Structure 1
Amino acid sequence: MSAGITMSSMSSYAILGCGSVGHAVADDLTDAGEDVVILDRDDNRVEALRDQDLNARQQDITEADVAEVVADREVVLILSGNVDANKAAVEAIRAAGGEQYIVVRANDPVSKDQLVELGADVVINPSEVIADSALRSLEAGELAYKTQQMVEIFRETDGRLAILSHDNPDPDSIAAAVALQAIAADHDLEADILYDGEMGHQENSAFVNTLGIDLSTRESVGGLSEYGAVALVNHADAGAEGDVEDDVDVYVDHDEPAEPVGAEFVDVRLNVSATSTILTKYLQELDLSPTETVATALLYGIRAETVDFKRETTPADLTAAAYLHPFANHDTLEEVESPSMSPETLDVLAEAIQNREVQGSHLLSNAGFITDREALSQAAQQLLNLEGISTTAVFGIADDHILLAARSNDIRLNIGSALDDAFGDVGEAAGHAKQGSAEIPLGLFTGIEISDDNRDTLLQLSEQAVRRKLFDAMGVEEGSNGS
């Protein structure tokens, strides 16, 4: 069937006004075996349509009796180039009590609104349709060009490819790296996935372990100097400005980097919500069917970045997810999304809930003395689900250090940068826009050595210092508690 018209069941149609648009629609519907009648006031045009074996009748669509002529039709397409005639036809059909599904042509935004008010179900503005088609064609052409440009770099690379995610990699960053590794392998280029910082959230560790994804720290491989090319994926959230590497060959992201990237290949797409979506488009463009592991990783990356399509989801994210769905292992996805919670994590979460302090939409909590720093990450993520909370920070004391984990879904805040501003001068901080961590030597805050006699004092002093420095870095004024 031409022109992409697909009907799920047989319907009866009336086409009112048969210029070039109406004629094209009539041909498609008739070729599909649909029951179509064409109404047009021009006798010569009607005769010509009949000569083409089309069911055409002479009828002025501006007259009230047009409603009676189309009364037995389920769908009415009013496609005349005269918008006043189209308005009259819609008005006549609705005034007669007609409940047909009406699709009508407009010629500008004003007439579009007027036709909706008159009772049209769908209003089409040809100029908008042409513009949308042109943009889709442009996007498709750009994707083809970009994909081949990237592949050419892979073909010319002598040595291995280093794929670097951002610090403390999240699912979208890991999934994009896994997909890029698969594309490189398809072009006979071996690649290693590297990261800085820590794996962080238990769900991320479950994701990597369950899918058998091989990641290495950049430190463990001795840096990037031995690689033939370097690719950065989902790296714009890497933290403070200037974090982007100097010597980069490929850069792919769905966010704008803090500073210009001097890579040979740069593909930043702000019209999608996940870098995994961009990599899915590459796979489709290359006609490279994803393996179960790659598809599961990418689908999880999109779902995690859009919070299961509830946050900032674009049509491109949805179509990418739909494409990946049949390739993915959904039992594995369920396993990754519901990792088991250790007894200590449960204890830390309970303590964090009990000790939470809320300033506006920001939550800070003291989890006390801990032995598992991963429990802090779990608690920070769980507390982010509280109503009205956009940023969480949970800290605890382990040995002679204050450990802190933070999460944020506030687009105005880069929590990684905030932690660096707050604690970078007294300890170590790492992260990106949505998550981060910090480790601060306890003595720098309190000047007190840990003993059984001063545990409560240490916690109190630590909480005061962490609260003051973190809230100052985030620009939060203390005093107006939430709950």
Structure 2
Amino acid sequence: MSTGVTISSMSRYAILGCGSVGHAVADELLDQGKEVLIVDRDEDRVETLRDRDMNAQAGDIREQAVAESVADRDVVLILSSDVEANKAAVSNVRGLGDDQFIIARASDPVSGDELADLGANSVINPSAVIAESALRLLESGELEHRAQHLSEIITATEQKLAIVTHENPDPDAIASAVALRAIAEYLDVEAEIFYFGDMGHQENRAFVNLLDVEMTSLAREDVDAFDGFDTVALVDHAMLTDANVEFDEPVDVLIDHHDIDIDRDLPDGLPFIDIRPQMNSTSTILTKYIQEFDLSLGESVATALLYGIRAETLDFKRDTTPADLTAAAYLYPFANHDTLEQVESPSMSPETLDVLAEAITNREVQGSHLVSNAGFIRDREALEQAAQHLLNLEGITTTAVFGIADNTIYLAARSKDIRLNIGRVLLDAFEEIGETMGHSTQARVEIPLGIFTGIETNEDNRETLLHLTEEAVRKKLFAAMGVESEGSNGS
């Protein structure tokens, strides 16, 4: 309930019911130089308060006379341990008008709602406050411990730290790597960022270029790439398939937000693991470390992390947690918002436009799921962008767009449905015939065309290939999503 009442620095206070909670509040207000009147039914307690030079009087807070005695007070705190007495006091005080700001003590959510209905502007539950405070202390203590451990591993580096993201890194992976490199530099350790695959998405390329992020692209066969690096960190790297097993270097650090099976998906003997699926981005986790290390936050790092959080949460529209919001609020004043706007509005290449147009034309929609064939393509990264754009269609929560290039079927998928893990869906559908990588909100598949159709790509059989791909991929996808393909385009 809100009455439009404001509390000024000159407010006069009344505390009705002065047990341990009321006493603590009174001490704090008096230390701040506030004028406080205390009313309590226990005359011995009132006498003790007076001996401490507090303005206290005896009275039963259930009685109308008590409400009238504090009618000149701007703020009334009703803090008795007797919730029924508190309800009566709230009703009496509010019955005199709406000018006073009332804070009342509850014992549980139900009594809290009842006190609010009676006119309390704000309700506190001491048990909930204590539990929340304990959890905050626990989180703070764990973060301090983890930061110290991370610092020990990084500072033990004698040569250089290699920071590795997942293949074809997205903004969250890039930003997390940038932040970890900033932490390493703060600890006087040289670090470089690496990634496997490509960075074809225009928005990601704009992100890297505008922030002048130095990243080195590697092929899986680059076995000597990490010579000269004696510490290796994976950030936002965990996937659903063998990508982590293929990483042959000893790994020292893993920081990620994806919910994964540690025993199955990770290398053995990792010295440092911080996986927090309760946070929606790895950028959020790295922001917490930035705060714990008390780094002087540079504009480019802040901009990267803020964009990483916004991109991973679809600008706070998907699975956003309080941790994501508080991290973004911390980063906001340090970020360059002109740069963010440029990153979020990159120009679309003709190839991407063609793929998107083809995907729109050939889409099939079943419920909130959309699957589309983009045909023969030149730029497989255009599939990723098409899948993301189609996710904006009204009523669509999951998209999958596939096309053929280089004797391979490439498929990109996106989902904002919290009940569906698109990475698992693709794994279930194509694990036996292709390579699947991804997680709950985005994933991709590469399928050798010969394995799938038994036909090689040439001009004479293009239509046959498209037909076979169309039928098999759509059916497998919709079946894995739990719906049946009708084999026709959506309207």
Instruction: Identify whether the pair has TM-score above 0.5, normalized to the shorter chain.
Output: yes
Amino acid at match of 2:14: A
1:136 counterpart residue number: 136
8 A Cα contact 1:255 1:270, kept in partner: yes
1:3 counterpart residue number: none
8 A Cα contact 2:203 2:346, kept in partner: yes
In structure 2, C-alpha distance between the alignment counterparts of 1:11 and 1:372, rounded to whole Å: 66
Q: 2:252 aligns with which of 220, 229, 249?
A: 249
In structure 1, C-alpha distance between the alignment counterparts of 2:40 and 2:445, rounded to whole Å: 73
Please tell me whether residue 464 in structure 1 is matched to residue 471 in structure 2.
Answer: yes
In structure 2, C-alpha distance between the alignment counterparts of 1:434 and 1:111, rounded to whole Å: 40
1:279 counterpart residue number: 286
Please tell me whether residue 15 in structure 1 is matched to residue 22 in structure 2.
Answer: no
8 A Cα contact 1:240 1:417, kept in partner: no
2:85 counterpart residue number: 85
In structure 1, C-alpha distance between the alignment counterparts of 2:118 and 2:487, rounded to whole Å: 51
In structure 2, C-alpha distance between the alignment counterparts of 1:268 and 1:399, rounded to whole Å: 36
2:351 counterpart residue number: 344
In structure 1, C-alpha distance between the alignment counterparts of 2:485 and 2:332, rounded to whole Å: 46
Offset of residue 18 of structure 1: 2.1
Offset of residue 441 of structure 1: 4.7
Q: 1:320 aligns with which of 316, 327, 330?
A: 327
Spell out, residue by residue over 1:450-472, the C-alpha distance to the aligned partner (whole angstroms, 9 max, x if none).
Answer: 32x65544433332232133334
Offset of residue 354 of structure 1: 1.7
8 A Cα contact 1:164 1:232, kept in partner: yes
- Number of aligned positions between the proteins: 476
1:358 counterpart residue number: 365
In structure 1, C-alpha distance between the alignment counterparts of 2:111 and 2:406, rounded to whole Å: 71
In structure 2, C-alpha distance between the alignment counterparts of 1:417 and 1:45, rounded to whole Å: 64
Alignment of 1:175-324 (within 5 A): 175-219=175-219, 220=222, 222-224=224-226, 227-236=229-238, 238-240=239-241, 243=244, 247-260=250-263, 261=266, 262-324=269-331
TM-score (norm: length of structure 2): 0.87
Amino acid at match of 2:230: G
Offset of residue 44 of structure 1: 4.6
Tell me which moved more, 68-77 or 277-286.
68-77
Aligned CA distance change for structure 1 residues 38 and 420 (closer, same or farther; 3 Å): closer
Offset of residue 250 of structure 1: 1.1
Amino acid at match of 1:230: V
Offset of residue 332 of structure 1: 0.8
In structure 2, C-alpha distance between the alignment counterparts of 1:413 and 1:243, rounded to whole Å: 23
Offset of residue 97 of structure 1: 4.5
Offset of residue 63 of structure 1: 0.8
CA RMSD of aligned residues (A): 2.9
1:370 counterpart residue number: 377
Amino acid at match of 1:183: I
In structure 1, C-alpha distance between the alignment counterparts of 2:8 and 2:290, rounded to whole Å: 30
Spell out, residue by residue over 1:349-384, the C-alpha distance to the aligned partner (whole angstroms, 9 max, x if none).
Answer: 222112111123221112233333332221111001
Spell out, residue by residue over 1:304-341, the C-alpha distance to the aligned partner (whole angstroms, 9 max, x if none).
Answer: 11221222222222221111112111111111111111
In structure 1, C-alpha distance between the alignment counterparts of 2:419 and 2:197, rounded to whole Å: 23
SS at match of 1:131: helix
SS at match of 1:65: helix
Amino acid at match of 1:185: E
Offset of residue 16 of structure 1: 0.8
Percent identity among equivalent residues? 64
Spell out, residue by residue over 1:367-408, the C-alpha distance to the aligned partner (whole angstroms, 9 max, x if none).
Answer: 233333332221111001112222212223346544332222
Offset of residue 180 of structure 1: 0.8
TM-score (norm: length of structure 1): 0.88
SS at match of 2:262: coil
Amino acid at match of 2:81: G
Aligned CA distance change for structure 1 residues 429 and 22 (closer, same or farther; 3 Å): closer
Q: 2:396 aligns with which of 386, 389, 392?
A: 389
8 A Cα contact 1:400 1:450, kept in partner: no
SS at match of 1:87: helix
Please tell me whether residue 450 in structure 1 is matched to residue 458 in structure 2.
Answer: yes
Amino acid at match of 2:326: T
Spell out, residue by residue over 1:256-298, the C-alpha distance to the aligned partner (whole angstroms, 9 max, x if none).
Answer: 3223343111122233222111111111111112211111111
8 A Cα contact 1:240 1:416, kept in partner: no
In structure 1, C-alpha distance between the alignment counterparts of 2:181 and 2:108, rounded to whole Å: 48
Offset of residue 162 of structure 1: 1.8
Aligned CA distance change for structure 1 residues 115 and 422 (closer, same or farther; 3 Å): closer
SS at match of 2:382: helix
Spell out, residue by residue over 1:208-236, the C-alpha distance to the aligned partner (whole angstroms, 9 max, x if none).
Answer: 12111122234357355653122122233
Amino acid at match of 1:385: N
Aligned CA distance change for structure 1 residues 465 and 270 (closer, same or farther; 3 Å): closer
Aligned CA distance change for structure 1 residues 270 and 414 (closer, same or farther; 3 Å): closer
Offset of residue 36 of structure 1: 3.0
Spell out, residue by residue over 1:425-480, the C-alpha distance to the aligned partner (whole angstroms, 9 max, x if none).
Answer: 555544443333344454552626432x6554443333223213333444443249
Q: Return 5+ residue gaps in structure 2 as ranges.
A: 1-5
1:24 counterpart residue number: 24
8 A Cα contact 1:18 1:38, kept in partner: yes
SS at match of 1:464: helix
In structure 1, C-alpha distance between the alignment counterparts of 2:48 and 2:432, rounded to whole Å: 83
8 A Cα contact 2:197 2:218, kept in partner: no
1:149 counterpart residue number: 149
In structure 1, C-alpha distance between the alignment counterparts of 2:383 and 2:390, rounded to whole Å: 11
In structure 2, C-alpha distance between the alignment counterparts of 1:8 and 1:172, rounded to whole Å: 42
8 A Cα contact 1:201 1:378, kept in partner: yes
In structure 2, C-alpha distance between the alignment counterparts of 1:424 and 1:191, rounded to whole Å: 35
In structure 2, C-alpha distance between the alignment counterparts of 1:296 and 1:16, rounded to whole Å: 49
8 A Cα contact 2:398 2:413, kept in partner: yes
